[in-house]
């Protein structure tokens, strides 16, 4: 079996771009993958075209060798731009191999270790009574792991894609309402917050210290990750477990955070970190340090399917991010575009039994819904200076 073509579909699903990749073979077996690096789809497309030049004509089952060739085959190694493209192709090659052998992808990763993959829900209501109502509704529906997205300022969006954000004002108000959420839910449900690395070390420490002990079970991406030393400093100022890694591009980026005990949950993104080939290595490394995976899953059904297969095959797994919960249905699981996908069952994903990923895409619809350039609003403070998104 040989690879005959690699097709790219930067596709619009609702108001969200998805970067889908299809790898075809001379035996009619094809595989689907998805690349991350949101809002940079055109750049990743260029990377795929580069890889395509030397992958066509090769055996799709040589997945590990292809990963090494894509990663090491140029002078400038690494970066999310390259690994987002590698991820999409690697996921598709696993899909092909599973289909060719007639087994689910998790059988290629060591076999099934659980019958379902637990998920967590995200609440996006602004700080206030609705936030508590939404959290209580989730618990009533069986969601026992809840993440709060750090809200932006109530002032709204300014001109030219700018949005006001004052970290100190935000953290003070959010700490008050998270305390109220914990009081309303009681000690049972797992409660965390995604800060989107908007704080400095001092701000993150102040935020953590404003809440009573036991309020949060995890603090996700409190500061930027370029400096592990900054995380070491923050680690001394709070005992809340950290969840870090959604923007990491390889095992080497994870190295200091795992080896120095700077993260308690590995937030790897299988569509950014290098696909199954790299994710499985990171999972084993994390297991050696008693750290569970908590995969980032913000994209679409292909990312979800790949993450479920990874979660089925590893022993050290906490929860999978779900963007299709009762509080956050973002419309990314378009049934017309994805005639076959993995179905959410309550607050968990049953592990599929069919060959490959268990997902399919309507290629004609994907081609007809071309993505459009997009960007996040750029955050600024009242003094006009820019701050982290």
Token couple for 13:
């699903």
CA distances from 303 to 20, 48, 349 (A): 10, 17, 13
Sorted by where each begins, the domain ranges of the chain are 3-104, 107-355
The predicted-structure confidence for 173-223, as pLDDT tens digits, reads as follows 999 999 999 999 999 999 999 999 999 999 999 999 999 999 999 999 999
The topology (CATH level 3) of 107-355 is: TIM Barrel (3.20.20)
DSSP state for residue 40 in the 8-state scheme: -
Residues 127-144: tens digit of each pLDDT: 999 999 999 999 999 999
8 Å CB contact between 205 and 235: no
Higher pLDDT, 38 or 121: 121
Q: What's the pLDDT at 246?
A: 96
| Averaged pLDDT for residues 374-379 | 82
pLDDT value, residue 341: 95
Q: Is domain 3-104 in CATH 3.30.390.10, yes or no?
A: yes
Q: Which of 11-15, 44-48, 168-172, 314-318 has the lowest mean pLDDT?
A: 11-15
Is residue 154 pLDDT above 80, yes or no? Answer: no
Q: Considering the chain, what percentage of its residues have pLDDT values greater than 90?
A: 85
Residue 233: exposure state from Cβ atoms within 10 A (0-12, 13-18, ≥19): middle
Position 330 pLDDT exceeds 50: yes
Specify the pLDDT at position 39.
84
Which three-class secondary structure state does DSSP give residue 132?
Answer: helix
- What is the pLDDT at residue 331? 62
The token pair that represents 361 in the structure block: 């895409």
The candidate with the shortest Cα–Cα distance to 305, out of 253, 254, 343, 264, is: 343
Does the pLDDT at position 100 exceed 60? Answer: yes
Q: Which of 46-50, 78-82, 211-215, 236-240 has the lowest mean pLDDT?
A: 78-82
> What does the alpha-carbon distance between residue 164 and residue 176 come to, in Å, rounded to a whole number?
21
Weakest-pLDDT range from 155-164, 290-299, 370-379: 155-164
Helix (H) / strand (E) element for 344: namely none
- Confidence bin at 161 (pLDDT 50/70/90): low
Q: Please write the tens of the pLDDT for every residue from 331-357.
A: 677 889 999 999 999 999 999 999 999
Helix (H, G, I), strand (E, B) or coil at 148: strand
Q: How does DSSP assign 96-120, residue by residue? A: HHHHHHTSBHHHHTT--S-SEEEEE
DSSP string, 199-255: S-HHHHHHHHHTS-TTS-SEEE--S-SS-HHHHHHHHTT--SPEEE-TT--SHHHHH
DSSP 351: P
Please check the confidence at residue 267 and state whether its pLDDT lies above 50.
yes
* pLDDT at residue 159 in the model: 46
Q: 3-104 with 107-355: one CATH topology?
A: no
Angle formed at CA 89 by CA 87 and CA 374, multiple of 5 degrees: 65
pLDDT at residue 153 greater than cutoff 70: no
Tell me what the pLDDT averaged over the chain comes to.
94
Mean pLDDT of 249-278: 97
* Spatial CB neighbours of 145, under 8 Å, sequence gap ≥ 6: 118, 119, 120, 121, 189, 190, 192, 319, 347
Q: Which of 311, 289, 297, 227 is nearest to 267 (CA)?
A: 297
Report the distance separating Cα 231 and Cα 200, nearest Å: 10
In this predicted structure, what is the pLDDT of residue 158? 45
Contact by Cβ (8 Å): 109, 366: no
Q: What are phi and psi of 290, to 5 degrees?
A: 60, 45
Mean pLDDT of 358-372: 92
Alpha-carbon Rg of the chain, whole angstroms?
21
- Assess contact for 3 and 51: CB atoms under 8 A: no
**Rounded Cα–Cα distance for residues 360 and 340 (Å):** 5
Percent of the chain with pLDDT over 70: 97
């Amino acid at each position: 079996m040989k690879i005959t073509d690699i097709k790219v579909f930067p596709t619009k699903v609702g108001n969200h771009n998805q970067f889908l990749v299809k790898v075809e073979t001379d035996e009619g077996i094809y595989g689907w993958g998805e690349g991350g690096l949101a809002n940079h789809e055109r750049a990743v497309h260029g990377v795929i075209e580069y890889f395509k030049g030397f992958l066509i004509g090769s055996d799709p089952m040589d997945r590990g060798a292809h990963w090494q060739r894509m990663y090491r085959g140029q002078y400038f190694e690494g970066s999310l731009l390259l690994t987002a493209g590698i991820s999409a192709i690697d996921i598709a090659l696993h899909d092909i191999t599973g289909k060719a052998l007639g087994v689910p992808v998790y059988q290629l990763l060591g076999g099934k270790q659980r019958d379902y993959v637990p998920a967590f829900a995200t609440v996006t209501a602004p700080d206030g009574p609705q936030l508590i109502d939404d959290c209580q509704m989730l618990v009533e529906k069986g969601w026992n792991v809840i993440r709060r997205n750090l809200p932006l300022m109530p002032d709204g969006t300014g001109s030219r894609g700018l949005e006001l954000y004052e970290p100190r004002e935000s953290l003070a108000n959010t700490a008050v309402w998270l305390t109220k959420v914990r009081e309303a839910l009681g000690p049972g449900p797992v409660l965390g917050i995604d800060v989107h690395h908007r704080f400095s070390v001092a701000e993150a420490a102040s935020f953590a210290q404003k809440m009573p002990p036991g309020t949060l079970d995890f603090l996700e991406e409190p500061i930027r990750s370029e400096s592990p030393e900054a995380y070491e400093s923050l680690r001394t100022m709070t005992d809340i477990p950290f969840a870090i890694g959604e923007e990491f591009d390889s095992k080497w980026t994870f190295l200091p955070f795992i080896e120095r005990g700077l993260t308690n949950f590995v937030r790897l993104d299988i569509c950014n970190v290098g696909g199954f080939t790299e994710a499985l290595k990171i999972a084993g490394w994390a297991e050696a340090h008693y750290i569970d995976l908590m995969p980032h899953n913000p994209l679409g059904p292909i990312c979800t399917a790949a993450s479920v297969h990874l979660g089925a095959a590893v022993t050290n797994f906490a929860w999978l991010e779900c963007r299709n919960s009762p509080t956050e249905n973002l419309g990314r699981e378009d049934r017309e575009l994805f005639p076959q996908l993995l179905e959410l069952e309550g607050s968990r994903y049953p592990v599929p039994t069919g060959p490959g990923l268990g997902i399919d895409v309507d290629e004609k619809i994907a081609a007809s819904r071309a993505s459009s350039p997009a960007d996040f609003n750029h955050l600024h403070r009242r003094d006009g200076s820019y701050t982290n998104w």
